Amino acid sequence: MPEADSELVMFLHALSRILGWAYFLSWSASFYPQAFNNYRRKSTLGLAVDFPTLNILGFTCYAINTATFMYSPTIRSQYAYRHPTAPENTVQFNDFLFAAHGAFMCVVLYSQFYTWIWGFKVGARQKASKGALGIFWGCVLAILVTVFLAQAAGKDSGYDPSSWAWIDVIYALGYVKLITVVVKYIPQAWVNFKRKSTDGWSIYPMLLDFAGGWLSLAQLVLDSSLQNDWSGITGNPVKFGLGNITIVFDIVFFVQHYILYKHSAKSADEEEEWNDEREGLLT
């Protein structure tokens, strides 16, 4: 019987790794369709620039978050202190690789809005909104405040896990990732709604996102069950939040693309030209 239990545990650990790499491949692949679509069209029309703007900050923060949970002795020991029943955090190498790859691809996608780099057609109104920039710099400020609190927390300066500590800074980076995930989808959903069209914007990243979201949540639940402690989920709120938020917004985009705006009246290029002519008449 113990042998059977041991084989089952080995199988579940192997299944966890498979789920992890499956979600990594699915979510990582989701960065390419839009970038290739822009390259094919030589245009970024139809894509809200707020999306890659916030994504750069979010994925950079997430890469640092996952890297420290995996490789920093200080962060790992502080996590163990705060989660005595399950001292090993549930961050996996595929989480870090996904975040690092995502940060790189977000920079590539954002660079496509610069005509002098790619030569693509960029709309006159395709500039980051004040709201997105406000959230961007607000998140940066929140991280700096958390760093200050950790450094000012007694003589140990961030190394006492019972007070403000460096792990709180790492958690702050993770929460910034969650905030950007929530916010980054809203401008694109709004752009689709205002245009009554999804032309120029690729649905394929959302399909891959949707699959990756379920795979990520499945791995997190499985890892927590293997530890016999569900605090592994609350101890990794970023991964848990990413999966759920992604799935919810993907459903919104599916409804827009396949139901509401299945037959768009204008292409993204035609609409941009029409808007330019209208603005010329109004000035």
Angle at 76 between CA 75 and CA 77, to 5 degrees: 90
> What pLDDT sits at residue 255?
93
User: What is the average pLDDT across 55-80?
Assistant: 93
Taking all residues of the chain, what is their mean pLDDT, rounded to a whole number?
84
pLDDT tens sequence across 81-100: 888 877 787 788 888 998 99
Q: Which of 1-10, 62-71, 121-130, 218-227 has the highest mean pLDDT?
A: 62-71
Is-above-0.85 flag for pTM? no
Longest dimension (CA), the chain: 81
Poorest-confidence range of 38-47, 122-131, 207-216? Answer: 122-131
Nearest one of 158, 176, 162, 146 to 237, comparing CA atoms = 176
pLDDT tens sequence across 130-139: 889 999 999 9
Nearest one of 75, 53, 129, 67 to 95, comparing CA atoms = 67
Q: Rounded to 10 degrees, what is the CA torsion of 54, 111, 188, 270?
A: 160
Q: How confident is the model at residue 272 (pLDDT cuts 50, 70, 90)?
A: low
From residue 263, how far is each of 123, 199, 257, 274 by CA, in Å? 22, 10, 9, 18
Q: How many residues are present in the chain?
A: 283
